[in-house]
Structure 1
Amino acid sequence: MDLEPPLQFPLQQALNATASPVHHILTGSFRSLSLFLLAFSPAQRTLDLVQTIPAFGPHQYIGLGPITQGSHTRYAYTTSWALPPQLQSWAIEQQPDSLRVRFIDSVDITATSSYITVPPPYTHIYSAGGPSAQVHALPPAGTPGFGPHAQEIKFVPQAEWDAADKTRKALRYGSHGIEFAFPTGSAALAFIPVLGGSLIEVYKRDEDGSLIHIDTSSAPQRAGAVEEEEDGPRHVKVHPNGRVLYCVTEHSNYLDVYTINPPNGVTPVLTYVASRSLIPPQLRSDTANATDGSKHTYRGDTLLLAPSTPAQPAPQSIFVTTRGGEGETTNGWVSVFRLDAEGMLAGDVENNPYLVERYEAKTSGGKAHALDLRAKSDEDPDGALWVILTDDSPPHPGVRVLEWDGWLWRGGGTRLRQVAAWPVKESETEHGQMEGASHAVWLD
């Protein structure tokens, strides 16, 4: 299929001769066949469309490749709802006036994928979704596209594979992500949450980049809480120290914290430590006694650790989201929890303003509420950030930029608030086709 040349849109303010520097954002959409390149101006608090990039299908998740020193091009890899199932790659090119994005290639896979990542040492591309996960080789530095297919991992028995659902519907109960840990004295470990099984599958990464299954971790047993099989682990992240794993549960709406134990043949790799609610406790209390329960009112979504900076090498915060439930009449939430130097939750006092911050979104979030974080300054001791929050829900779906002031902010008011959004109105999109953002990433 030949693609039309990307449609170019002039920046309204961000790229004129007197404008301050901008930060670029690449976003996909659940309801559009295009990717969108945006520019955020911190000084003017504006978010503008730079480029619409025609593609093959709605794009669910974006993974960025490594930055090559001296190169003006970086590569991105995306999952897609296109049929037949495939993954796609893109070049992000620095040009004199702005960044530009162009399509590189695609590879066919057996089941629609949900998540894609390129972890150190940047030799392979890993994706997961529904009944399977895929491993592709990464071409040599500076070479575009996908390398050879290296491995397929199946989460259903071989006898059931042919009949297994391989469409995007399987993402509701199959695998939903893959993340890596690099414990001292151990081979790299990979963690794949399987939403429908309430399991986190654990793998060791071999020297050739392939994954070898070594353990299965069941959802934690919570006294007086949701039963194990209803937990629904959706996404995981790993602390830079390689010793702590965090998991968001879609059905029970918790942030779970585990310690990572290097495999020794006896000790489980994951040991459950603690949980925090993705929604304010009073709302959990209000819904817990309802007939359908809080798991139908909210849907736990995603999580992200604050980026490391010279001023804050260890993340001080972890951001988590949940979406409103069916009917989109309930607003979603963003919660920020403070972490100690070892990556553990800094305390359990919900009302302590220095341990938790809550932000109620303007809509339910729909299928989105993905996050990406960017430090406002490498030298800021408070850990202030710019936060991307994607929204797929009417009446104003799209990309939002929030500002996080850090834990020591004493300026009054909320420390987390919206400062910009795109689109502001339908006429600013490509013929109104950007009806909701899926996942977005900071590019610079």
Structure 2
Amino acid sequence: MASFDFVVGTFATPYLFTLRFTPASSTSNESSLKILKQHEGLGSHSWLHLSSPGTTGTQNLYATAWTEPSSLAAYAVHTPTDIKLLNTVATKSRSGYVCASGTHAYSAGGATGEVFALDFKSGAFTSSSESTEHSNDTSSTDIQPVQLLDFVDTSGQRDNGSTMDFGGLRHGAHSADLSPDGRNCIWTYSIGASKEHMKLAEKKISPRKHDGPRHVWPHPNGKFVYCLQEHSSVADVFEVVKSCNGSVRLVHKQGVRIIPQGLPVNEFWADEVRTSLSNGENPKYLYASTRGLKEGRKGFMAVYKLTPEGLIDGADIVPEDHDTAIEWRDDDQGGLLCMYETATSGGWANAVQPGPTIGDVEYIAMTDSEVGYVFVLAWDGTEIREVARTNLNEGTDTSKGKHGAATAVWLST
């Protein structure tokens, strides 16, 4: 039976882990998940982004690094067990999220964010803002961003001192993901090749007062964006409306609750939203996860059915005058296929990442920072089952602290 590998970062230790998942087969009734290798990393890597294979066939892994000072790290993934650091760049404030195109990496760090140029051949950070195809300057520790972004007022990054504040990451921008055509991201920015690399097109306020947009994910067709609201545990669907000049605005179309009815939202903080991989450019499902705010309050993962266009099948469409109906929409669970209770609260994680599909079963990696578990879940269109788990703290070097699993990226699907 074929095996599938993925990489996991942690919140509190300078390690990356390669895990190998082997699904059940005719010769083995049980799936397995094992730690293939523990790699020395730059620092605590809370978020990972894996690029498509470059000209050499090597993939690049970009990671936030909770170092002093704060930074991003670029790695070359030669094989699942051979991951090498290429170089690093400093960020103005602690980064909570990084994504990349073939030419640039984008960081979101609460009050500020950065755009860094990437070397065409190696994928390393480079100081060249004019041409990433022929740049050889990838070794300097003083590489400057192509663009620095400000997401809050002049007061700068705020940190209320609590563990939940993550050094100020809960104020300002939390994530950045590119649209499928690579031209836009939320807040929303247009992305071009001009000196002003990113230009603000729209600042989209949450549909609910006192809510907190956390992560977004685009539909592959580029027509819709899914936004996970951290405070209300609602997944919102926005239509991407493009203007004649290439800029976009987001129109709120749907909002669905991702925790069971009757449970108070103030006991949860939502974490992740992703579309399924099992149907290529027309994903069948939307996955959204929540964390329990305190240890003992288990989290949830909700699965919603998507229409071929990208709306949630069965959920109500937001009226144009949505202010009068917003409270009513918060309890909408039309289109809900399954609500899965997670094994722990998830700690800071409960992040989900869809992986390989075998037959009619889609496998999903889920990370837990409370205990250090990494799970593989199986979704067959009817129910979610845990099919394998491992603990990053068992049988590995814990001399530099407890491993709290953060996020996962699949090397093979």
Counterpart residue number, 2:32: 46
Counterpart residue number, 1:374: 355
Pair 1:58-2:44 in alignment: yes
Say if 2:177 and 2:216, in contact at 8 Å, map to a contact too: yes
Inter-partner Cα distance in structure 1 for 2:390 and 2:75: 22
Counterpart residue number, 1:439: 407
Give the CA deviation at 1:105. 1.3
Match 1:235 to one of 215, 218, 226: 215
Say if 2:180 and 2:218, in contact at 8 Å, map to a contact too: no
TM-score of the superposed pair, with normalisation by structure 2: 0.83
SS at match of 2:353: strand
Inter-partner Cα distance in structure 1 for 2:193 and 2:311: 30
Pair 1:145-2:145 in alignment: no
Match 1:348 to one of 311, 315, 328: 315
Instruction: Letter of the 2:99 partner, please give it.
Output: T
SS at match of 1:393: coil
SS at match of 1:181: coil
Give the CA deviation at 1:280. 1.1
Inter-partner Cα distance in structure 2 for 1:428 and 1:215: 48
Give the CA deviation at 1:156. 2.4
Instruction: Letter of the 1:117 partner, please give it.
Output: C
Pair 1:154-2:150 in alignment: yes
Inter-partner Cα distance in structure 1 for 2:7 and 2:257: 30
Counterpart residue number, 1:358: 339
Give the CA deviation at 1:168. 3.8
Alignment CA distance shift 1:128-1:46 (3 Å): same
TM-score of the superposed pair, with normalisation by structure 1: 0.77
Inter-partner Cα distance in structure 1 for 2:81 and 2:55: 17
Give the CA deviation at 1:54. 1.6
Inter-partner Cα distance in structure 2 for 1:369 and 1:90: 24
Say if 1:302 and 1:320, in contact at 8 Å, map to a contact too: yes
Q: Which has the higher contact order (CA 8 A, sep 6+)?
A: 2
Say if 1:113 and 1:168, in contact at 8 Å, map to a contact too: no
Counterpart residue number, 2:270: 300
Match 2:175 to one of 177, 180, 193: 177
SS at match of 1:269: strand
Comparing 166-175 and 356-365, the one that deviates more: 166-175
Q: CA RMSD in A?
A: 2.6
User: Which runs of 5 or more structure 2 residues have no equivalent in the other structure?
Assistant: 25-29, 128-144, 317-330
Counterpart residue number, 1:4: none
Say if 1:62 and 1:77, in contact at 8 Å, map to a contact too: yes
**Identity of aligned pairs, percent?**
28
Inter-partner Cα distance in structure 2 for 1:215 and 1:243: 16
Match 1:404 to one of 372, 376, 379: 379
Alignment CA distance shift 1:136-1:168 (3 Å): same
Pair 1:430-2:410 in alignment: no
Number of residue pairs matched? 370
SS at match of 1:340: coil
Say if 1:131 and 1:165, in contact at 8 Å, map to a contact too: no
Say if 1:89 and 1:106, in contact at 8 Å, map to a contact too: yes
Pair 1:24-2:19 in alignment: no
Q: Could you give the per-residue CA deviations for residues 316-353 of structure 1, whole angstroms, max 9, x where no partner exists?
A: 1011010001x312000011110000100001399999
